[in-house]
Structure 1
């Protein structure tokens, strides 16, 4: 890596360690003359490939080893996939953090959870302002998103200007915060933009993503058609625009908003401290919900993706301490279904329906708009910025390829497909991927971080899908098995379906042991290996499984 580090001393480079080739877990790096700036540091949520794991973060090892040259972390906005890993990974970076007032409020909560509230230098930057760090001059530009103070970054360097879009949309009626500042975007782009690093999430969606105000109007009509019973609405706690929409509509229909879920309380409190949501009636705590008539209440709940520990799933199971829904009540899922969550979420829909509760989703009514740009908005942004190079990020491989094709169709000179770990030289010379550096994912587990593809989680996956076998083999000093081996199964097969299984396992262990040579029978490791292989052979033949198998040999002396 020495030659690579030397080559980075001159020029402008871009390196994603998270968020390219995937949606979520954004961590982007820019290098100018050997000094680095990190843009965002977020998390992703685990799926069934990581049993027992909730949160995944990008592996920061490569840049952490160069932290002496890391000038700062800049966070574009307060969504978890952009800010969620800062507190967990900052000890490896030890550098200042820059972000907007609202995002700083959210980050402060996360730092306090990690005991870092007094350690991290968090610099609050006013939306729409400018700053300089080393050879980087950065203009913050307001772009609309589903959360306040999303800031695109126009990064000016001695080698050219780069727009880092962050997450955005062009919503003329955003409900919370200002509309996208396209006038400033035009102005800062007029001197020429070398490259645009841009959100690809909705590249397959034609037209525009839609306005939050239109969702508000639609929810107004829907609530007007539900005169009786409790109404519960679930959405992402971080979607402050949607929280404002729901609260405004509830007020029009004389319903009091009850917050159900800890993350909703945290988000709304942070929003109010930053000057948002303060013109709404006070929210009511879930403990007081029982005192309000059923037709005068709107429950705003976490758990829009069917998360087992989310408020909505606990309500559906009848396990919530303060909230219950009855036949005739209504639940509105005001969010999209994140790919991978379909099975869990549809099971929750069915669970509610079976209880006589009306379920409304985006498949039934207009109850959600995305916070990311569709093709029409991408086209408009390319028309304003006019970059020479398009570098799609925040998307899977298919999103990035489609975004490159769109950019080329709009006259962009060069569109580059990039993935985590690619170092892209932007200038001087032609843009080119010059190296690949280590990248990966770390699972957040008890006690810290562990590699997602490491031995620990590989073992856990094997336990989930294959189960485990433990056994004890008793041998005497001459190497003879003196009693039937003891075998215990955990999650391998249902022993009730195989009444002869224990007998077969013990017989196979003894048979294979008896085939050993005399000197091998005196070697505990060889005895253990032979019994281990005998057990595994039975289960491969019986069920096509390879359970984790632990055999213990106990050797004793006979009197």
Structure 2
């Protein structure tokens, strides 16, 4: 649930405004060995507490959204009324955002300025440049934020993917050019900083998924994150190759595909059937994508596990494929759901159980981090996205790449980038708020 603030000359720039799901307001509950969290302490939708910046909204020059994942954009429909400033993002993310806003009649009230790759926009005292990068969603962007005092390269979520399903292959040239611009700081994704080597391409998942679907004799249901349009395009192509029909179970999946079609990211020759029709097909004709890969109780997969999903009833030897990671903290929910499937003799395959890749991370491994530090050559590394061990690993990589200094901190810390880098601990009171029970 990202919410970053950059300050200069009495103004602030917010980068991303996201949510997390099914979470307590005190995350330490989940970090204590053997602890149990009561249902009343879990909230459906949670965001960072924006009190610091909402009390200074006159100083908030604008909000930049780097891409359309929920942990970067999902809180904006709930919180924008507290800020009431312009929002800057690209066409696909704007389409996803407007669809969310329509539910609350906010679409006409929020000023959304659409930008293009490589465009530079002045937002108050900040000059922001959108640099195209690869991730697991259309139109992800890193940001080059320039001010009179200095500059910051903000990576957001990224990886080096030479064969993505959507958008163009990764292009290193814009990042190599930054080395000549004396970048003061690089604020960098640390999610996979503990993993050696290089992440696999999104396109490599297709072969593993195709093999599983070709071998299946019954219905196949794939659980994946609803924002992963690349995975859904791969599955639509697999449906074509195997004589099956692709159905989408879950409103968020249907919304994602609708936004992809509206912005030209969905191939015209790939068909999706109405979810209602899936129950009338022969079992070997069904290939479905469903929400709920993390065991969410209200999602389609959980309802299918309990055999009370309105559009499809599964039978013995049907196959559930989890084309996703297990997010820490969700293990028990997923295990419970898998056990419900197994009791009915419905087969399941987790991504880590299959010999070929059926899920690809959208975040950089160690070799990718090294390349980016070597290309950009920042004066300061500020690792972000991850637990302290991930941040420390990222900082170690920056040191190996001869970055002069690194600063690692926690939520609420103030990182002074120029004129002299330093870290002020607990400069801002932070916390979590519930956006929905």
Q: Which residue of 1 aligns with 2:70?
A: 80
Q: Map Cα deviations across residues 407-438 of structure 1 (whole Å, 9 max, x no partner).
A: 11221111101211112111112334376111
Equivalent in 257, 272, 290 of residue 268 of structure 1 = 257
Q: Map Cα deviations across residues 13-69 of structure 1 (whole Å, 9 max, x no partner).
A: xxxxxxxxxxxx100011111111100000112154663511111111111111111
Mapped to 1, the partners of 2:140 and 2:199 lie a distance apart of: 17
Q: Map Cα deviations across residues 499-530 of structure 1 (whole Å, 9 max, x no partner).
A: xxxxxxxxxxxxxxxxxxxxxxxxxxxxxxxx
Equivalent in 205, 219, 224 of residue 230 of structure 1 = 219
Q: Which residue of 2 aligns with 1:156?
A: 146
Q: Which residue of 2 aligns with 1:450?
A: none
The residue matched to 2:203 in structure 1 has which SS? helix
The residue matched to 2:186 in structure 1 has which SS? strand
TM-score of the superposed pair, with normalisation by structure 1: 0.73
Does 2:403 match 1:427? Answer: no
Mapped to 1, the partners of 2:307 and 2:426 lie a distance apart of: 54
Equivalent in 3, 9, 14 of residue 38 of structure 1 = 14
Q: How does 1:441-520 map to 2 (within 5 A)?
A: 441-445=432-436
Q: Which residue of 1 aligns with 2:195?
A: 205
Mapped to 2, the partners of 1:136 and 1:242 lie a distance apart of: 35
The residue matched to 2:43 in structure 1 has which SS? coil
Q: Map Cα deviations across residues 508-558 of structure 1 (whole Å, 9 max, x no partner).
A: xxxxxxxxxxxxxxxxxxxxxxxxxxxxxxxxxxxxxxxxxxxxxxxxxxx
Does 2:338 match 1:349? Answer: yes
The one of the two structures with greater contact order (alpha-carbon pairs below 8 A, sep at least 6) is 2
Does 2:277 match 1:301? Answer: no
Mapped to 2, the partners of 1:349 and 1:161 lie a distance apart of: 48
Equivalent in 217, 221, 236 of residue 247 of structure 1 = 236
Q: Which residue of 2 aligns with 1:375?
A: 366
TM-score of the superposed pair, with normalisation by structure 2: 0.93
Pairwise CA distance, 1:97: 0.2
The residue matched to 1:53 in structure 2 has which SS? strand
The residue matched to 2:41 in structure 1 has which SS? coil
Q: Map Cα deviations across residues 155-179 of structure 1 (whole Å, 9 max, x no partner).
A: 1211222100000000111111112
Q: Which residue of 1 aligns with 2:117?
A: 127
Pairwise CA distance, 1:187: 2.0
The residue matched to 2:352 in structure 1 has which SS? coil
Mapped to 1, the partners of 2:120 and 2:178 lie a distance apart of: 11
Pairwise CA distance, 1:188: 3.5
Where do 5+ consecutive residues of structure 1 fail to align? 1-24, 447-559
Q: Which residue of 2 aligns with 1:173?
A: 163
Aligned length: 421
Q: Which residue of 1 aligns with 2:81?
A: 91
Q: Which residue of 2 aligns with 1:470?
A: none
Mapped to 1, the partners of 2:117 and 2:181 lie a distance apart of: 22
Mapped to 2, the partners of 1:388 and 1:52 lie a distance apart of: 41
Q: 1:133 to 1:268 in 2, by over 3 A?
A: same
Q: Map Cα deviations across residues 459-504 of structure 1 (whole Å, 9 max, x no partner).
A: xxxxxxxxxxxxxxxxxxxxxxxxxxxxxxxxxxxxxxxxxxxxxx
Mapped to 1, the partners of 2:112 and 2:371 lie a distance apart of: 34
Mapped to 1, the partners of 2:100 and 2:377 lie a distance apart of: 38
Does 2:369 match 1:393? Answer: no
Q: CA RMSD in A?
A: 1.4
Mapped to 2, the partners of 1:201 and 1:146 lie a distance apart of: 14
Q: Map Cα deviations across residues 237-279 of structure 1 (whole Å, 9 max, x no partner).
A: 1011111111112211111101111111111001110101133
The residue matched to 2:209 in structure 1 has which SS? helix
Question: Is the 8 Å Cα contact of residues 143 and 151 (structure 1) preserved in structure 2?
Answer: yes
Q: 1:430 to 1:360 in 2, by over 3 A?
A: closer
Pairwise CA distance, 1:180: 2.4
Pairwise CA distance, 1:135: 2.2
Question: Is the 8 Å Cα contact of residues 142 and 179 (structure 1) preserved in structure 2?
Answer: no
**Larger Rg over CA atoms:** 1
Q: Map Cα deviations across residues 277-332 of structure 1 (whole Å, 9 max, x no partner).
A: 13342211111112322111201111111111110110110111121110111110
Does 2:301 match 1:325? Answer: no
Mapped to 1, the partners of 2:368 and 2:170 lie a distance apart of: 11
Question: Is the 8 Å Cα contact of residues 141 and 181 (structure 1) preserved in structure 2?
Answer: no
Where do 5+ consecutive residues of structure 2 fail to align? 25-36
Mapped to 1, the partners of 2:179 and 2:92 lie a distance apart of: 26
Mapped to 2, the partners of 1:316 and 1:432 lie a distance apart of: 49
Of 426-435 and 60-69, more deviation after overlay is shown by 426-435
Question: Is the 8 Å Cα contact of residues 163 and 196 (structure 1) preserved in structure 2?
Answer: yes
The residue matched to 2:433 in structure 1 has which SS? strand
Pairwise CA distance, 1:342: 0.3
Mapped to 1, the partners of 2:239 and 2:302 lie a distance apart of: 22
Does 2:29 match 1:53? Answer: no
Does 2:108 match 1:118? Answer: yes
The residue matched to 1:219 in structure 2 has which SS? helix
Question: Is the 8 Å Cα contact of residues 413 and 423 (structure 2) preserved in structure 1?
Answer: no
